[in-house]
Chain A
Amino acid sequence: MLRLPRRRLFMLGSAALLGTLPAPRLRNPFTLGVASGDPLPEGVLLWTRLAPRPLEPAGGVPPVRYPVAWQVAEDDRFRRVVRSGTATAAPEYGHSVHVDVRGLRPGREYHYRFRAGAHLSPPGRTRTAPARGASPRRLRFATASCQSYTDGYYDAWRHLAAEDLDLVFFLGDYIYEGAINSVGGSRMDPALRLPDTFELETDTLDLYRMRYALYRTDPDLQAAHAALPWVLTWDDHEVQDNYADEVPRLPGALPADFAVRRADAYRAYWENQPLRRPRQPSGPDMSLYRRFRFGDLAHAYVLDTRQYRADQACGDGLRAGCAERDRPGRTLLGAAQRDWLLDGLGRSEARWNVLAQQVMMAECRYGGPANRLDMDKWDGYATDRRRILQTAARMPGTVVLSGDIHCNYAADLHAGPAVVGVEFVGTSITSGGDGSDTTGQLDLQRRYNPHLRFANAQRGYLRCELTPDRIRADYRVMSQVTRPGGTITTRASFVSERARPGLVAA
């Protein structure tokens, strides 16, 4: 058989595809970039979405199917293509493309790209997980969360893309559901010519799709997606601020109406993230909790603390003396997810068990005479937390990664008097604006919570390195986000030993 170089085959294939493309042809459809995610030892999920006019409801794509060719190569010049094929971008999925590539080698870097018609996507770089039986020397990752578009520029993503990392855990609030206009917020960019459709609160599938499209037009966010694989979970703003399972934030909305809104939000989330097809929602339900293995070094449990939780106790917010939070049966994770997690943790053979999730797990008293607790966090769901930390007491190497609150915290996790794990709460990418090194509230929290080793309210992300016996976390903070060009520095670093958990300044 005549063997052509893979690159040549790709070009021939694309030329052949041109003849099958429905009219009209598309302008450059790769305005939203590319992404990869959920790495396995043998494969990774590749994503893109066709949108030649990304700020229009359907992205400027006619309601027909388009073939999209893809390639995976061992080199960034695509001379050694190892996998290729053609996927379909269908209108019912917002012309998104999800390619579940298998047959790759574990622990290897790969490069990928797409082609639609005559248009070639920007290239992406990704990495498979180590082999299941491997004993990796280290795993380097970042955590990030909360990237309100109107609150600032995404320079933090550009800095993160330049880091030497294996993957990113994104811990929620990828979009925000409120109004955006061209003159509002910190970006204040009338040149965007943002349609007034964005002034509507997202509540239907078309509006959620448009919101993801707007966010993904940002070049720094695109750079971070293209630089390494992401493992994502969501928090509340992907649907609505502080919702709990089927309970919307504000009273008065009918449960059936909120279920439909949740279905539309979950659908748009799946369409716009590098998630495999089995994760696809069924109406208002979408299974997002899952586990990833990095040889015997780490198991990562990606949790969903929004979809199954009991309604926030005592009416949500900061509360003191709320006995309801201890009521038996209240759960943050839901029984099925909690039992799955406890079973996995209890039988784990990994050196480390990493819980990538949304809300702060460590107790956090807000100080003052009332000494309140936040009912939206694990403090409002004490039973679930107790069971997890009791399991952690038996299983060394428990690390919790959190987001949600636009602040950095480093905390020891206690089961009784004993420290059984550590928690790193990462700040926001932009949400909250520039922030500050500390605030009066953070000062109070440090005073009333001696297990908090660090607190800071700047923007940025967390950079972590996991080795068989130690974890190190660097708190990377931005000089500014409300104007472009922010620089990044390491504000603080902490380590914790697997055999003797507890945070120590590095």
Chain B
Amino acid sequence: MSETRSSDVDAALHNLEPSGEHLEFSSRTPIWVQVVKWGLILLTLAVLGWMAQQVIEAGYWIMVSLIGFIALCVIAVYATRRAIPAKYLFPGVLLMLLLQIWPLLYTVQISFTNFGDGHISTKEEAVASIVANSVREVEGSSRYALNVAVPEGTDVATGDLAYLLTDAEGTYYVGTLEGLEELPADGVEAGPTGRIISAPGWTALTPQEVNDRSDDLADFGVPVFDESGEQTAGIRQVGLSEAFIGTPTRVYDEEADTITDTVTGTVYVAEDANFVPEGGEGAALPQGWREFVGFENYTNAFTNATLREGLTKVFVWNVFFAAFTVVATFLMGMAIALLMNDERLKGKGLYRSILILPYALPIYVTALVWASMFNQDFGLINNLFGLDINWLGNAWWARVAVLITNLWLGFPYWFIVCTGALQAIPSDVKEAAAIDGAGAFATVRRVIMPLLLVAVGPLMIASFAFNFNNFGLIWLLTEGGPFVGGQSSIGSTDLLITLAYRLALGGASPNFGFASAISVVIFFLVATISYFGFTRTAALEDVN
């Protein structure tokens, strides 16, 4: 092209090139902008560095590398002149990753474990807890009065710890990691209970200093030996001023991976993340640990008899509940908005404020109030209308009650949205419709509604998804009940989310793994429905 270009064009192009001034303007940013920019970058990096410090202390190495990666991204995006779109997109993308993708992945990960009550900690922690909790006072032993000390001349914060002990007879002892040694009474100052306050050669710690050495004290104990020189028990403190002779009654054998109860002689072996008695007789030790269980939670979710039977019923009700709520609240909200939009109506401000009220009150209050209004014997509704409907005790009436309450709670939202959206519809469209001979109803149905739907379509989908998981309303109003057919797992007004909550957390011990598995299943359901919903909205837009 350039070869065929005439010199005139070249000259014209030359003239079009920016002047020196312009170039200067676009390439050199004012110094203060630079300072602010770098200040912000450094600030961000400093915050990230501080966060890294925190997670390093907690020992979460994956998080550390993640934070490092984010820091690199910040530098790459903001410290360079490249990647202009990324400069705008990065914060949003980052937040989406952190607040949505990460929890999602975390949930999926948990759904493959047995994480839940009794399976919270690691195996080491569980073993440590079992052994520590099994320490019993040696029968027939008496207590010591106690003070905690370090050898004189050593630092209270680092010196070797020792117990200054007084037994029931008033004899003084010093207990160290080597064992118990009698302390000459000379120069020992003791309190009224016999507790040693000071002793020559030792520096007693203040409560504050004892406190600071909690970690060291946790591992400290004075061994007690029998005649043959074998350790039989240990002297441990109880608080600040008392010590007892105790011995763990459960001992962990690391090689065999078993725990032996020295009192009953039972040997516990590790099985399914719990220590169970060898041979299977008797109860497992309470503390279990967290481990990978593969698809077990999913298999459980799909093979659970109650769940399988009730799931379809719950799903159908759930979809109907969400759909009905959206449609009904929208129609009612829109109708009122149209009414309020009429110029002939006086005192709109007042009406509007009143209509917003149900929306302004917290659902925690409203739902409970409605629940008591639906009471068969003592509720307002039956009393007022002279009815005797068993609103919350009959499956069908309970569903009606739920829908009525949700209509009450939901219509003000659509009223607000429609009021706003109606302003955006040009009045000439309505006039045109009127000229074409359309009546009021036809105008609304054929002109206003389609225009309105384009605007509020996405909101309806969001509303549908929200109501699909409207945990609060159901839980507060009916708790998922009434439960029919002699069981307490699947209620007539249960949504999938309340069902999942009850099955996984509400009934038996909390089981986060199982709950996560159900959440993942619900996620896919909602995502699918939403996907098709959005596709449909797009089609709606095309039509118009």
Does B associate with A? no
Which chain B residues have a beta carbon within 8 Å of chain A's beta carbons? none
Which chain A residues have a beta carbon within 8 Å of chain B's beta carbons? none
